[in-house]
C-alpha cells in the first residue's frame, strides 16, 4: 500500500568538512549523554519546519521549490559556541549561528513563498524563527541535559560557512534525504 503522505523540511546545510566537525559533536552527545536522535539528520539550520503533504502533492512541491524566487544572494554565516533551549520535556543543545541578517531575510522570503502555495502548513516555529544547528534533542533527558549543558555552555566553537543553496529534504521512514537543491545567486562584490 503506497504512503498517503510524505514528510519534508527545508534547510541550509554546511559543506562536508563542517558537517563532519558538527557530527563529531553529535557523536559525543550520543556516547556520553545518551542522545542519538540528532545523528539521523545532516547538521543543518531549519528554514521551514517539517511538514506533511499528500503523496500526490509531491510534484507540486518540487515545482514550487525548483521555481522558488528569493532575492537573497549568497552570504556567510558565522557559528560561535553553543546555546540551549531548556524545555522541560525536550531540551535542546545547539551550535549558535551569529550572523543573522541574510539568514533572517532568506527565511522570511522562503516562508512567504511557501505560504502562498501551502498556506495550511505554516507553523508557529516558522513565524518565530530561531536559527540553530541542533547537536542534541528529543532523546536528551532533562538529567543528561543538565550534565551536558554544564559542560557545553563553556565550550568554544568557531566556524563559518557560505550559504549558497537551500535544500529540500524528505524522510524515507528511516532518515532524511536531500531531494532537491535551490542555488542562491552569488554575492555581487563591487
Residue % of the chain over a pLDDT of 90: 81
DSSP string, 131-176: --EEEE-SS--HHHHHHHHHHHTT---EEEEEE-EEEEEEE-SSSE
Quick one: which H or E segment has residue 7? strand 5-12
Q: d(Cα 32, Cα 68) in Å, to the nearest integer? A: 41
In this prediction the pTM is 0.92
pLDDT of amino acid 188: 58
pLDDT confidence band for 132 (50 / 70 / 90): very high
Angle between helices 16-33 and 142-152 (to 10 degrees): 130
Task: List the one residue out of 157, 143, 156 whose CA is nearest residue 33.
Answer: 143
In 28-74 the beta strands, taken as DSSP E runs, fall at: 45-54
Residue pair 133/43 in contact by the 8 Å Cβ criterion:
yes
Mind listing the pLDDT tens digit for each residue in 19-32? 999 999 999 999 99
Q: d(Cα 70, Cα 176) in Å, to the nearest integer? A: 24
pLDDT of amino acid 187: 66
pLDDT of amino acid 1: 36
5-183 adopts what CATH topology? Answer: Cyclic Phosphodiesterase; Chain: A, (3.90.1140)
Q: Is 190 helix (H, G, I), strand (E, B) or coil?
A: coil
Q: In angstroms, what CA-CA distances link 181 with 38, 153, 159?
A: 22, 34, 23
Judge residue 118's burial from the number of C-beta atoms within 10 Å of its C-beta, 0-12 exposed, 13-18 middle, 19 or more buried. middle
Amino acid at each position: 500500500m503506497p504512503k498517503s503522505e510524505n514528510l519534508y523540511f527545508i534547510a541550509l546545510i554546511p559543506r562536508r568538512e563542517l558537517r563532519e566537525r558538527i557530527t563529531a559533536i553529535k557523536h559525543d552527545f550520543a556516547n556520553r549523554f545518551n542522545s542519538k536522535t540528532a545523528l539521523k539528520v545532516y547538521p543543518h539550520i531549519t528554514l521551514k519546519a517539517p511538514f506533511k503533504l499528500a503523496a500526490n502533492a509531491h510534484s507540486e512541491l518540487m515545482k514550487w521549490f525548483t521555481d522558488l524566487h528569493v532575492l537573497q544572494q549568497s552570504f556567510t554565516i558565522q557559528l560561535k559556541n553553543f546555546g540551549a533551549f531548556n524545555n522541560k520535556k525536550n531540551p535542546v543543545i545547539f551550535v549558535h549561528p551569529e550572523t543573522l541578517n541574510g539568514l533572517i531575510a532568506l527565511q522570511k522570503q522562503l516562508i512567504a513563498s511557501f505560504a502562498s502555495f501551502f498556506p495550511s502548513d505554516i507553523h508557529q516555529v516558522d513565524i518565530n524563527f530561531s536559527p540553530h544547528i541542533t547537536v542534541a534533542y528529543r532523546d536528551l533527558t532533562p538529567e543528561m541535559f543538565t550534565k551536558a549543558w554544564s559542560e557545553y555552555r563553556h565550550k568554544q566553537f568557531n566556524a563559518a560557512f557560505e550559504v549558497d543553496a537551500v535544500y529540500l529534504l524528505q524522510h524515507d521512514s528511516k532518515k532524511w534525504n536531500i531531494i532537491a537543491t535551490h542555488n542562491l545567486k552569488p554575492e555581487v562584490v563591487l
